[in-house]
Amino acid sequence: MTATQPSSVTAPGAHAPHLRPQAHFTARDTWLNDPNGLVFHDGVWHLFFQNNPSGSTWGNISWGHAVSRDLVSWTELPVAIAATSEEMVFSGSAVVDAHNTSGLAGAGETALVAVYTSSYTAHSERPGIQAQSLAYSVDDGATWHRYAGNPVLDIGSGEFRDPKVFWHGGDDGRWIMVAVEATEHRVAIYSSPNLVDWSLESRFGPAHATGGVWECPDLFPLRVRGTDEEKWVLVVSLNPGGIAGGSGTQYFVGDFDGTAFTPDRVVEDGGIEDYDWLDHGPDYYAGVSFSGAPGGRRVTIAWASNWAYANSTPTEPWRSAMSLARSLDLVRCADGRLRVAQSPVLPSPDDLPDGVLVHRLVVPTRPGERSEIALTAGDPASAERVQIVLDGSSRTLTCDRTAGGDTGFHADFPGSFQAPLQGAQLTDLTIVVDGCVVEVYADGGLATVTMLVFPSAPLTEVSLEGAHADR
């Protein structure tokens, strides 16, 4: 998070309803940033989120709350954990404490426990400190209570945040927390028998991209596709210093033994293009996974914005959207490297919400072949377009929003963003256009680019120059 910026004066018409996405969650009429407390419980996906309940820029940070049964259509509920004069409620996670290890559930109850960062204000007894705290619900997430013994983990730091908690090790297991020591570019790993008492196990970092503070870590296992091999993925957001400028989300593949994370691959003195990124676009940040997703699935949601300009994007009174939910998979690529592949969670084409367009194409990407795809509003008199280029010679996917509509609200907004391609012959593409969010998935989701666009009319048309086959 960076200092807030005043919201800018925006172009006439910029607040048009067509900019509000339908399959990407937005708060009704307020600000949001990171997804928090992602947890599946009793058939319901809970999405909590960093929210200013009384404004459309960052501030007064509380946990908003929304629920869904299909990860596409969301219902916003009342604020779950509200800021007080003493603490803002920064990012964190939630778990179902099925065995009541915390003792917070009464007889016959199950506690949902949120582990969040208390960002203590000047009016508190710990001014400037960030420490980890608990809140719990014994009515399936409807109402939340702060734990009386908060904070549960305070190391006296002003840069210690974003706890992600999971159960590790079966019946004899324990809780594991990853949290960042943000300015030291480290992920600290703690363990606990009960979510209340925490012991430091190890630290990871600095490693790979360190051009900004580390934020919002996640650590989870994934099976390598087509094998029984299990690996662990450590996700670390950083701001600035991301691959597309400003905020970005990198990941490491390796092993976790219950105590420490060891990456398979550490590039010494590399450039940021040598590292692994969950998304190569500018608007994919603070992505974390659901706790308790059924069927062993690993499903993530990220914030579809960038701290460089998030407070100035031209929508009011709501501001910012989440990404689509994505299912994750781990793939051994032709070069021997394990990479995360992502696919968007979408309903069947007939059940897509109005205004959401999904284009699926296969494009040849042999050396010398180049295809250009344009997303437009179909008005020949308008020069507005989002351009997507696949280049077989440089083996890249480039997404360009410089002519995509309103770009003038912040100097850092216009740009074009590049991702490497793995496929040698053909590249499959899924392009999701939904209000102000465009998500592009290439190569079976090995490369993704997520970006905001603010066109003056909905981008209903897609045209392609160059050879291709429809899927």
Q: Is 187 helix (H, G, I), strand (E, B) or coil?
A: strand
**293 is a contact residue toward ligand FRU (CB under 6 A):** no
User: Which helix or strand (DSSP H or E) is residue 65 part of?
Assistant: strand 62-68
- In the bound complex, what is the minimum distance in angstroms from residue 322's beta carbon to ligand FRU? 13
Select the residue interacting with ligand FRU from 117, 323, 376, 398 (CB under 6 A). 117
Select the residue interacting with ligand FRU from 26, 30, 91, 306 (CB under 6 A). 91
**34 is a contact residue toward ligand FRU (CB under 6 A):** yes
Residues 397-456 that bind ligand FRU (CB under 6 A): none
Structural contact between residues 449 and 354, judged by C-beta atoms closer than 8 angstroms: no
**Can 335 be counted among the known catalytic residues?**
no
- In the bound complex, what is the minimum distance in angstroms from residue 250's beta carbon to ligand FRU? 14
Q: Identity (one letter) of the amino acid at 104?
A: L
State the DSSP code for 99.
T
Residues with Cβ < 8 Å from 209, sequence gap 6 or more?
A: 238, 241, 242, 243, 248, 250, 272, 275
**161 is a contact residue toward ligand FRU (CB under 6 A):** yes
- In the bound complex, what is the minimum distance in angstroms from residue 308's beta carbon to ligand FRU? 12
Q: Is 376 helix (H, G, I), strand (E, B) or coil?
A: strand
**162 is a contact residue toward ligand FRU (CB under 6 A):** yes
**469-360-328 Cα angle (round to 5):** 125
Sign of dihedral through CA atoms 280, 281, 287, 292?
negative
Select the residue interacting with ligand FRU from 24, 26, 37, 50 (CB under 6 A). 50
**286 is a contact residue toward ligand FRU (CB under 6 A):** yes
Q: Is 145 helix (H, G, I), strand (E, B) or coil?
A: strand
The residues facing 362 across adjacent strands are 428, 469
- In the bound complex, what is the minimum distance in angstroms from residue 27's beta carbon to ligand FRU? 14
Choose the catalytic residue: 34, 97, 283, 329.
34
Give whichever of 63 and 413 is closer to ligand FRU, judged by the CB atom.
63
Q: Is 351 helix (H, G, I), strand (E, B) or coil?
A: helix
- In the bound complex, what is the minimum distance in angstroms from residue 304's beta carbon to ligand FRU? 12
Select the residue interacting with ligand FRU from 39, 61, 178, 308 (CB under 6 A). 61
**385 is a contact residue toward ligand FRU (CB under 6 A):** no
Distance CA 246, CA 240 (A): 4
- Quote the radius of gyration of the chain (alpha carbons, Å): 21
**1 is a contact residue toward ligand FRU (CB under 6 A):** yes
Give whichever of 305 and 422 is closer to ligand FRU, judged by the CB atom.
305
Number of residues interacting with ligand FRU: please give it, by CB under 6 A. 13
Binding mask 211-230 for ligand FRU (x = CB under 6 A): ----xx--------------
Select the residue interacting with ligand FRU from 90, 166, 252, 275 (CB under 6 A). 90
Distance CA 439, CA 59 (A): 28
- In the bound complex, what is the minimum distance in angstroms from residue 237's beta carbon to ligand FRU? 7
Structural contact between residues 405 and 12, judged by C-beta atoms closer than 8 angstroms: no
Distance CA 275, CA 185 (A): 15
Distance CA 304, CA 23 (A): 12
Residues that are catalytic: 34
Give the residues lining the site for ligand FRU (CB under 6 A): 1, 33-34, 50, 61, 90-91, 117, 161-162, 215-216, 286
